[in-house]
Amino acid sequence: MQTNSKDTICVHAGEQTNQFKSINTPIYASTAFGYLDTEERLYPRYFNVPNQQALIDKLSMLEGSESGLIFSSGMAAISTAIYGLFNKGDHIVFQKGLYGGIINFILHDLERFGIDYTILENNFTESFLNAIFPHTKAIYIETPTNPLLSIVDMAVISEICRKKNLTSIIDNTFASPVNQTPIKFGIDVVIHSATKYLGGHSDITAGVILSNKQLIAKISKTALNMGGSLDSFTCYLLERSIKTLTVRVEKQNTNAQKIAESLSEHPSISKVFYPGLPSHANHDIAHRQMSGYGGIVSFELKNQNADTFMRSLTLIKPALSLGGVESTICDPSTTSHRHLTIEQKAKEGISDNLLRLSVGIEDVNDLISDLYNALKTNK
């Protein structure tokens, strides 16, 4: 298929032909495949069955990668990528502000398996450079971050990695391939929690790694031992979801921008975090590397309690997770960051009155009314 359009790629890339000329990929409900007349040995845990392949082709074309692997969760993708690419004694630089699950993985597992690491205290270029040692093998970033939407310059990171011969890895979950394609900026490995925007309907768990053939081959060897592959039924649902990815995410972008602007003007809100606002600390970098600013808006309430505020909402649902067609909200202080001490929370910028809103595809005026009514009730 010849196109550069993400709209067309989302709908059509990865289509497989079959005798019935079906428009959709059939669900191959089989773990056993004949092998006598083929080179390939198909088996779900080898990451090579038709429903996995259809998804990989679609996602590879979207992100501009040569190849990929589909996992049963975002964390399966992340942990397998790290175990597949690195050895005991290697060192990895992690940026500040990563998803909590990765921090848990680093602290609980990396150390036990002898992989050395540095988690940065800030994301200045100098700090990345200062953390590189002779045994450093990779820089791992996530931009925009959760929940404060900090932005890291992908071109700068990939340049550092090229010069120092390191592998660059990004968690691209928050942006989705609609808003940001890191491989264009020279990043080597792109990971997604497909549970979020790629799935988009808050009903499936999946993950993905996209990269060049050489790195995917290396990760594959570990992947089939760890066994975190995705079943064909969920692959089918994910493929169906991605057909509407651009439509969903573009609507979420415009809704989020309007909500961020509107909340910025409200007297009961003390701070709004959104990369699409000119007041955002790295708006210029975001503008350079993103084609849309995403569907997550975080904000701090001035004099209100986060819990009572959330209970006053009627349309927006207080819930964990993000990226669905329905708007959801949570307070990171009692959810994603609940295990941090008061000092750690302060250091990470997680206050008790911070809220993270995952903007859905509802009418934006209904969402703004819901937020404003909840703000009023609590005055």
Ligand X SMILES: *Cc1c(COP(=O)(O)O)cnc(C)c1O
Which positions lie near ligand X, rule CB under 6 A?
73-75, 99, 101, 142, 146, 171, 173-174, 193, 195-196, 205, 207
Shortest Cβ distance from residue 66 to ligand X (Å)?
23
Evaluate whether 375 touches 313 at the Cβ level (below 8 Å).
Answer: no
Residue at shortest CB range from ligand X: 74
Residues assigned a catalytic role: 45, 99, 171, 196
Question: The tokens of 281 are what?
Answer: 């600390």
Question: The tokens of 328 are what?
Answer: 């959801």
Shortest Cβ distance from residue 146 to ligand X (Å)?
5
Smaller CB distance to ligand X: residue 195 or 234? 195
Shortest Cβ distance from residue 172 to ligand X (Å)?
8
Rounded to whole angstroms, the Cα distance separating 5 from 301 reads: 40
Rounded to whole angstroms, the Cα distance separating 250 from 267 reads: 28
Dihedral sign from CA coordinates of 100, 101, 106, 108: positive
Smaller CB distance to ligand X: residue 172 or 304? 172
Rounded to whole angstroms, the Cα distance separating 31 from 117 reads: 38
Shortest Cβ distance from residue 268 to ligand X (Å)?
28
Smaller CB distance to ligand X: residue 167 or 172? 172
Helix (H) or strand (E) holding 320: none
Smaller CB distance to ligand X: residue 25 or 193? 193
Smaller CB distance to ligand X: residue 209 or 364? 209
Cis geometry, peptide bond prior to residue 177 (ω within 30 degrees of 0)? no
Q: Are strands 317-318 and 328-330 parallel, antiparallel or unpaired?
A: parallel
Q: Tell which phi-psi region holds residue 187, choosing left (phi > 0), alpha (psi between -120 and 50) or beta.
A: beta
Smaller CB distance to ligand X: residue 28 or 71? 71
Residue of 76, 89, 366 lying closest to 225 (CA atoms): 76
Shortest Cβ distance from residue 196 to ligand X (Å)?
5
Shortest Cβ distance from residue 171 to ligand X (Å)?
5
Rounded to whole angstroms, the Cα distance separating 346 from 361 reads: 33
> How buried is residue 378: exposed, middle or buried, by Cβ count under 10 Å (0-12/13-18/19+)?
middle
